[in-house]
Amino acid sequence: MSEKTMRERMLAGDLYLADDPEIAADSRRAMSLTHRINTTDPTETAQIRALFGDLLGEYGDGAEIRPPFRCDYGYQTRFGARSFANFGLVVLDVAAVTIGEDVQIGPNVQLLTATHPLEPGPRRDKWEAAEPITIGDNVWLGGGVVVCPGVTIGADTVVGAGSVVTRDLPAGVVAVGSPARVVREL
């Protein structure tokens, strides 16, 4: 067994157990801040912006995320300047989630970095890991898109509503389907 703490293992992308006290404290912090975000009067935009600034690793100038919002830890998520996310964004940010500038995210989008072992024994023992997600500048994710662990979406790409992105997408394309596939270049 490594000498790293479970939190250090998680941040390094190694298998880890989530019941570690440090990880649990990070999770409680995120739950508290997301609860406050999700229960604040939506017209209190300055207060919501301040809460997102406390929660996220980066919340760019002119960015907006419309509650409700859910995440695992918050500090692993970077949300670029002038980017917008509509209602119901879920970010499982066990690994880094980087959202570029001028990104448009439709309602009920899921960005999922968490992975679990395929082998039944380690999965039963609650081992897990994660792979980062990167979304380039000026990407548009339609409503209900699911982005899977380890995916990078290139700048200026459009992903159609309801698509499941299981592998990297290049810059400047339209991709749709489950799994998402490129249907044309822009």
Provide the pLDDT for residue 2. 58
Q: Classify residue 72 by burial, with Cβ atoms within 10 Å: 0-12, 13-18, 19+.
A: buried
Identify the segments of the chain with pLDDT beneath 70. 1-2
Judge contact between 136 and 156, C-beta under 8 A.
Answer: yes
CA gap 160, 145 in Å, rounded: 7
Provide the pLDDT for residue 32. 98
Judge contact between 165 and 180, C-beta under 8 A.
Answer: yes
Q: The tokens 């979406």 sit on which residue?
A: 153
Identified catalytic residue from 29, 36, 116, 181: 116
Residue 35 annotated as catalytic: no
Q: The tokens 């380690």 sit on which residue?
A: 122
% of the chain at pLDDT higher than 70: 99
Provide the pLDDT for residue 138. 98
Q: Which long-range contacts link 80-89 to residues 24+ away (Cβ below 8 Å)?
A: 80/137, 85/109, 86/143, 89/65
Q: The tokens 């992105």 sit on which residue?
A: 165
Provide the pLDDT for residue 1. 52
- Structure token digits, residue 87: 């209602």
3-state secondary structure at position 8: helix
